[in-house]
Amino acid sequence: MIKLNRLLGLGIIVFSLWGSVRAQVIERARPAEWNDLINGGRFMDLFRPIAPLGALTTNTWGAENVIPRYVDNGIEDAEWSYWGGNALLGDDGQYHLMVCRWREDSVKGHNEWSNSIVVHAVSENSFGPYKVMETIGPGHNPEIFRLKDGRYVVYVIDGRYVAESLEGPWEYGKFEFDQRDRPIIEGLSNLSFAQREDGSYIMVCRGGGIWFSKDGLSPYNQVTEKSVYPPVEGHFEDPVIWRDNIQYHMIVNDWLGRIAYYLRSKDGVNWKIDAGEAYLPGITRYTDGTNEDWFKYERIKVLQDNLGRATQAHFAVIDVLKKDDKGSDNHSSKNITIPLTVGRKIKVLNEAKIKRSTKSIKLRVEAEEGFDPNSDIDINSLRFGASEEVNFGRGSKVKKIKIDGPDLLVTFSGEGNGITEGNFVGKLLGKTNNGKLLFGYARLPGVDYIEPILSALIPEITKDGMLKTEVSNFGQVISKPAKIKIERQENSIWREIASGTVPKLDPFEKFDIKLSTKAGLNLEQEQKIKVSIYSNDFDPVVLIGNMPIDK
């Protein structure tokens, strides 16, 4: 993985003329290594040209950079400014978009967003045009998801709506959050959600903190005390998280630098940053050569198929700087859709754990509707291995192939696969016979994908002089007994003051453990404490914080 913290630290202020307005923008310096990424090496390469939707027109609002355009893409009209929102396929076979809007003629212009209203729009085509069917209620930056019991939830900033069906009625309420002795990173807004295999939910907040809920509505519990975003300079917001049948995905946007980053994870807690931009302005292009050069792309959301794979992206876009969108002018915002190249279904057939020294890797490439691996693949273009290798044109090469019914078995030389302990999936990258991008991710043998997630609180002192702390398991499987150690900082040195054993815990089970101290504690002074949980199968889970004063 490229060390982004040393590569993207510098921002250069540049001034670009946009129409008649001089706009200040931060141009982020890119790592030199990014110039060596091949097609398919960055998430941005997945955006495909859009098939024309309706009629191409100039008779609409917008600066010259978005004229002419296909107004049937997503949702827009002259009366309203639209923002945010995502769609899902309903049981009725139609696509349902939850999006917010405010009147375009508002005195505040774009700044009327704080009074936006969420509406429910429907289309027979996932790309649009979407037609508003009902008003849900006040709210901004909506995201819809479906609970395991079939109910629908529409998140909005500082609240949520719940309904038994997409037709409503929608009941407003609020989520509950337990920060669990951890600082809330940049507040609880712009949340994004993904369902785990057992129906529980993971959530990422604006600042990059990770939270878990047992069912999506019960309290969300924070498990990270630091942001999971790339450790680089940036003004981050608008995260989106989703899970497919292989792994978790996340994209987060640096709104000032107008650059987004792509991350992947096997558990939703520990994230791997992929090189290259996730998206940039300029990605709205059509198969007939039409380009729409929207000034800003924000609030990315994805439409998923039955395997959880992202098939298209939804964006909130605006034609000028937000401050230059005034009421009753020629500027506004809308929701647009862009199709994505979908990853192919692939499976590693090796039984032993794959290492750099592995001699050969056998892969099954499965046939799907519209894709025949036995005739559609440029075999010589294929590479497989760690994303850090294949994204730069390296990785293992094909040794032989074999037809297996509708599927294709591909054997790669193990040389150059680059897979280490830090890799939880392998990546296939290449081209189809007509030169189009082909890729896919596969889980690796010997890697556990559903594991316990143990997490502790900062201890407190009981009346009988013991240390008591709460340990929870936010994973989806029962945990094994684990060791817990509590240390106190003394003159920059950590000194152990208590230790013990945490028993097996069911998913979302909590356990209060009381430990005898090995040293006296000053009850009149706040003390810096480190709590570490050790398991034979995992790296230690560490929480550092201040133990409260006994009052």
Least confident of 27-36, 40-49, 103-112: 27-36
DSSP percent split of the chain into helix, strand, coil, nearest 5: 5, 45, 50
- 253 in the same domain as 171: yes
- Count other C-beta atoms under 10 Å from residue 304's C-beta: 18
Amino acid 523: pLDDT: 59
For residues 300 and 283, the answer to whether their CB atoms sit within 8 Å is no
Whichever domain contains 499, its CATH number is: 2.60.40.10
- 475 in the same domain as 439: no
Q: Is residue 449 part of a domain?
A: no
State the Cα–Cα distance between residues 426 and 541, nearest whole angstrom: 26
Q: Is residue 182 part of a domain?
A: yes
State the Cα–Cα distance between residues 142 and 144, nearest whole angstrom: 7
- 483 in the same domain as 430: no
Amino acid 10: pLDDT: 29
Using the 3D structure, point to which of 306, 324, 339 is the last residue of a domain.
339
Amino acid 16: pLDDT: 33
State the burial class of residue 336 (Cβ atoms within 10 Å of its Cβ: 0-12, 13-18, 19+): buried
For residues 386 and 395, the answer to whether their CB atoms sit within 8 Å is yes
CA 314 from chain center: how many Å? 14
**Please, which pLDDT band fits residue 21 given cuts at 50, 70 and 90?**
very low
What number is the average pLDDT over the span 522-539? 81
Amino acid 86: pLDDT: 96
Distances (CA, A) of 478 to 85, 448, 500: 36, 13, 19
pLDDT in tens, 191-237: 999 999 999 999 999 999 999 999 999 999 999 999 999 998 888 99
Q: Is residue 58 part of a domain?
A: yes
Q: Is residue 479 part of a domain?
A: yes
- 374 in the same domain as 303: no
Whichever domain contains 428, its CATH number is: 2.60.40
- 249 in the same domain as 285: yes
> Percent of the chain having pLDDT more than 90?
86
- 364 in the same domain as 327: no
Q: Is residue 216 part of a domain?
A: yes
State the Cα–Cα distance between residues 423 and 406, nearest whole angstrom: 29
- 210 in the same domain as 227: yes
- Give the count of domains, the chain: 3
- Smallest CA-to-CA distance from 172 within 147, 153, 189 is with 153
State the Cα–Cα distance between residues 260 and 37, nearest whole angstrom: 16
CA 346 from chain center: how many Å? 22
- 521 in the same domain as 461: yes
Bigger pLDDT: 280 or 14? 280
Amino acid 26: pLDDT: 82
pLDDT in tens, 327-344: 999 999 999 999 999 999
- Smallest CA-to-CA distance from 27 within 48, 10, 40 is with 10
State the Cα–Cα distance between residues 413 and 385, nearest whole angstrom: 10
**Please, which pLDDT band fits residue 436 given cuts at 50, 70 and 90?**
very high
- 207 in the same domain as 60: yes
Whichever domain contains 290, its CATH number is: 2.115.10.20
Please report, as a single letter, which amino acid is at residue 409.
L
Using the 3D structure, point to which of 385, 413, 443 is the last residue of a domain.
443
Q: What is the average pLDDT value for the chain, to the nearest integer?
A: 92
pTM for this entry: 0.93
- 380 in the same domain as 326: no
Amino acid 550: pLDDT: 59
Amino acid 377: pLDDT: 98
Bigger pLDDT: 398 or 489? 398
Amino acid 23: pLDDT: 43
What number is the average pLDDT over the span 484-507? 94
- 176 in the same domain as 231: yes
CA 253 from chain center: how many Å? 10
Q: Supply the range of the domain harboring residue 403.
A: 346-443
Q: Is residue 448 part of a domain?
A: no
**Please, which pLDDT band fits residue 521 given cuts at 50, 70 and 90?**
low
Q: Is residue 256 part of a domain?
A: yes
What number is the average pLDDT over the span 504-513? 97
**Please, which pLDDT band fits residue 287 given cuts at 50, 70 and 90?**
very high
**Please, which pLDDT band fits residue 244 given cuts at 50, 70 and 90?**
very high
Amino acid 14: pLDDT: 31
* Own/partner pairs, 165-168, CB within 8 angstroms, 24+ separation: 166/90, 166/92, 166/96, 166/120, 167/134, 168/120, 168/134, 168/136
- 169 in the same domain as 58: yes
State the Cα–Cα distance between residues 234 and 23, nearest whole angstrom: 18
Helix (DSSP H) and strand (DSSP E) numbers for the chain:
2, 41
pLDDT in tens, 297-329: 999 999 999 999 999 999 999 999 999 999 999
Using the 3D structure, point to which of 291, 321, 339 is the last residue of a domain.
339
